[in-house]
Amino acid sequence: MPSRESVNPDDRAAARDSGSSLDDSGSFLIIGTAGHIDHGKTALIRALTGTDCDRLPEEKRRGVTIELGFAQMDAGGYRFGVVDVPGHERFVRTMVAGATGIDIALLVVAADDSVMPQTREHIEILDLLGVSRCVVAITKCDLVDEELAALVVEEVIETLEGTALAGATPIRVSSVTGTGLDDLRGALLAAAAEVSQRSRSGPFRLAVDRVFTVQGRGTVVTGSVLQGRVASGDALELWPGGHTCRVRGLESHGDSSEMVQAGQRAAVNLIGVDRDQISRGCELATPGYVQPTHLLDVRLRCLASSGRPVKSRGRVRVGLGTRELLARVVTPSGGPLAAGESGYAQLRFAEPVIAAHGQRFILRDESATRTIGGGLLLRCSPKRRRIRGPGAVAALETLESDSDESRVEEVLRFAGFGQLSDLTVSAEAGVALDAVPAILGRLEQGGRRVAVESGGQPIILAALDSVADRAVRWLKRFHEHNADEPGIKPDAFIGYLDRKSRRGLGRALLDRMLAAGQIKQQGRYIAHTDYAPSLSAQDERVLATILEEFHNGGFQPPALNDLRVARQTNNQRIQRLVKIAVSTMQLVEVGGKLYLHHAYEERLRDIVKGIIQQGEDASVSAIRQELGSTRKFVVPFLEYLDRVGFTRRDGDRRVLCEADDS
C-alpha cells in the first residue's frame, strides 16, 4: 500500500515493507509550511528532506504548488511529518486543510520579497488555529546583501508581534547553497522540545486530506492523526455519514506499521467503504466518539485586518479540519461582531459537521476571497436552541473555562436526562477519556450528580434543578390563569415532569420537589407554595355552610345537589367551593361525586382498623352496622380505603395493608 505522500496517488507500485526507524517511545510531530507564493517553501523542504513535494505534472510545469505536498524528516529523536502548503491566494482553502493538526509552523519569507499579503494571511490563519510554535526561515538569502536581509528580519519580527507566533527568531537560509540549514534544523528541534505531546491514548481522529485507490488493496486515505492511535484490524467510523469501516493496513511515509498515533502522517487502507464515499474533509474516528450536528457554539474572533464586521445571520465559509462548508453566523444580541472584537456566536450549517470541544476553525467570507476570523469550538451538540440570555452565555463561559469538572458538569446539564457515554462526554467537554470516570465520581461526591431513583443512573443536579424550576413556573402560571382551581392533579403534574425529563422519572421528581418544599400537595392537588384560595366574604359563608352540612351528614353525607345551601346559590359556585375544600383537606373526595367530611374520614379509618384488629368479620355488612350507614355509602367508602392503600380486599372481607397492620 503506497503511502509515501510525495508519490502520485495514481501510482500503483507495490508498497515498501521496511520497518519504522522509531519505536513507540519516539516522538512524532507535524511541521506545516506557511508563506507567500514563490517564497521557496517547496525548495526549502526539498533541501531539508530530499523530497520534492510538487508531485503533480501541472505543479512541475508551472513551478507553483497547487496541492498539499508531504515529506518526512528524522532528526534529534523526532520523526517530523512535513506538510507543504500552496502559497497562492486562490489556494487558501487548501492551506487551511494542510494546517490542520500541525505542531510547528515553518513560516517562509523570501529575502528578496519580504512580507507579502499571503504571508500576513497565513500568519493570521496559524494564529487563529492556535499554532504557537513557529520557526521562521528567511529564504533566498544568497540573492540579497546583508543589509536587506537584516531589514527583512526586522519586518518579520514586527509582523509577528501580537500573535501567538511572536518571539520566533528568523533563521537566514539558502536552499541553493545550503547556508543556514543546520541552524534551521536546530531551531526546529528547539521548537519541538517545547511542544506538548498529543494524547496517544483515548479516541482516534484523523482528518482526511487525500483519498485514492490502490489496485488489489482498495481505498486508501491519508491525513494527520489528530489524537489517539489506531491499529490494523480496528473498527472506525467515517464521517459525515457514519459509515462503519475497518483498518486493513497502515503506513506512515512509506513505512508499513501495525499502529499509527497522534503526531504522525498516516495512510489508512480501509475495508467497508468505497472510494466515492470519501473526499477531503471527511474524518475517521473511534466509533461513538463524535456525532454529526448542524450547530456549533463558538468563541469567534473577527480579524482587525478584515476591516468589516461579521454580521449576524450573514453567510460565511467555515474551514473546519480539512473541510470547508457554508454556514450562517448568529450572535446572541443579533448585532454584528466588529472587526478586531471577540464574542460568542452560533454557526448554523446546512450540512452535518463533525467536531469536538476545543477544536479550532477559520472563517472566510462567502466568496472565499479573504479570511475574516476564526475561533474555538465550545459546544458541538445537535440540540437546536438560541444562545441568547445570561443563562446561555454563562453556560458558554463554563465551557470556555479551564476546569474539567465544570465543563463536564455543563455538558451533562445541557444533555438533561439523556444518557451520554464516556466517549461523548470526552468529546463534548474536551477531557481525556480515561479521566471521565474520576470526574463523574467527584461530581457525585460533591452532590452535583445524584440518583433520584433507587438504583437509577445518577443525573446532574443542575438538570434536576432546571426541570424543577420550569415546573414551578408552569404551576405558578396555572394559578394565574385558573384562579378558581386549587391546583393540578398529581398524575397531570407527573406527566409534565416525564415530558421534561425522562419517561418514568416524573414520580421520583415529584417526591423530590415535595420533600424540598418547592411545591405543596393540597389534598388531591399539587399547588404552588404561594397559592392560597382567594374567597370573598360571601364565599367563606357558603363554604362554612357546606362543611357544616357534610359534618352533620356523618357517614351518610349529602349529594351536592341535595345541599340546603344549593337552593341559595348556583351549582358552579358549589362545585368550585367543594374543590377548594378538597384541596385544603376539609373534605375528602371518596369517588363518584361522593364527599366525606375529613373528621369522618379519620373516624372511618379508625373504625375499620379496629374491626380488623379485633379479628371480627370485616365484611361490608359488619362495617355498615358499625358505621350506622347504608350499603349505598359503605361500599364506596371501602373501595376508597382500598384505593388509597389503607386496606385490601380478601374475598368478602377487608384486611389491613402491611404499612397499617400494627
Max avg pLDDT among 92-101, 118-127, 560-569:
118-127
Query: Rounded mean pLDDT of 395-405?
Result: 95
What CA–CA distance (Å, rounded) separates 201 from 249?
A: 20
What CA–CA distance (Å, rounded) separates 313 from 327?
A: 9
What CA–CA distance (Å, rounded) separates 378 from 201?
A: 22
What CA–CA distance (Å, rounded) separates 413 from 511?
A: 21
C-alpha cell belonging to residue 187: 531551531
361 within 8 A of 323, measured Cβ to Cβ: no
DSSP classification of residue 210: E
* Least confident segment among 49-63, 124-138, 344-358: 49-63
Name residue 77's amino acid.
G
3-state DSSP assignment of residue 616: coil
Sign of the C-alpha dihedral, residues 225, 229, 233, 239? negative
CATH architecture of 205-285: Beta Barrel (2.40)
pTM: 0.78
- Residues recorded for the chain: 662
CATH architecture of 463-528: Orthogonal Bundle (1.10)
CB neighbours of 96 closer than 8 A, spacing ≥ 6? 125, 129, 319, 324, 362
Superfamily of 293-393 according to CATH: Translation factors (2.40.30.10)
What CA–CA distance (Å, rounded) separates 223 from 206?
A: 6
What CA–CA distance (Å, rounded) separates 276 from 273?
A: 8
pLDDT of residue 56: 58
Query: Rounded mean pLDDT of 415-424?
Result: 90
**Which residue from 269, 403, 367, 377 is spatially nearest to 321, judged by alpha carbons?**
377
What CA–CA distance (Å, rounded) separates 641 from 47?
A: 94
Any idea where the domains of the chain sit in the sequence?
27-193, 205-285, 293-393, 401-450, 463-528, 535-662
**Which residue from 5, 222, 2 is spatially nearest to 101, judged by alpha carbons?**
222
Q: Which fold has domain 27-193?
A: Rossmann fold (3.40.50)
C-alpha cell belonging to residue 531: 397559592
194 within 8 A of 233, measured Cβ to Cβ: no
pLDDT of residue 644: 86
CA-CA distances (angstroms) from residue 66 to 54, 61, 119, 220, 221? 8, 11, 17, 21, 19
Name residue 130's amino acid.
G
C-alpha cell belonging to residue 294: 448542524
518 within 8 A of 464, measured Cβ to Cβ: no
pLDDT of residue 25: 43
Q: Do domains 27-193 and 463-528 have the same CATH topology?
A: no
167 within 8 A of 156, measured Cβ to Cβ: no
pLDDT of residue 13: 31
Query: pLDDT tens for residues 51-96?
Result: 887 665 665 555 556 567 788 899 988 989 888 877 555 556 666 7
422 within 8 A of 412, measured Cβ to Cβ: no
pLDDT of residue 1: 53
HEC string for 156-184: HHHHHCCCCCCCCCEEECCCCCCCCHHHH
CATH architecture of 535-662: Orthogonal Bundle (1.10)
C-alpha cell belonging to residue 278: 470519501
210 within 8 A of 222, measured Cβ to Cβ: yes
Adjacent-strand bridge partners of 82 = 31, 71
Query: pLDDT tens for residues 559-574?
Result: 988 888 887 888 888 8
Who wins on pLDDT, 615 or 600?
A: 600
pLDDT of residue 361: 93
Query: Rounded mean pLDDT of 146-163?
Result: 94
Query: Rounded mean pLDDT of 306-317?
Result: 92
What confidence tier does 352 reach under pLDDT thresholds 50, 70, 90?
Answer: very high
Pairing of β 235-239 and β 243-252: antiparallel
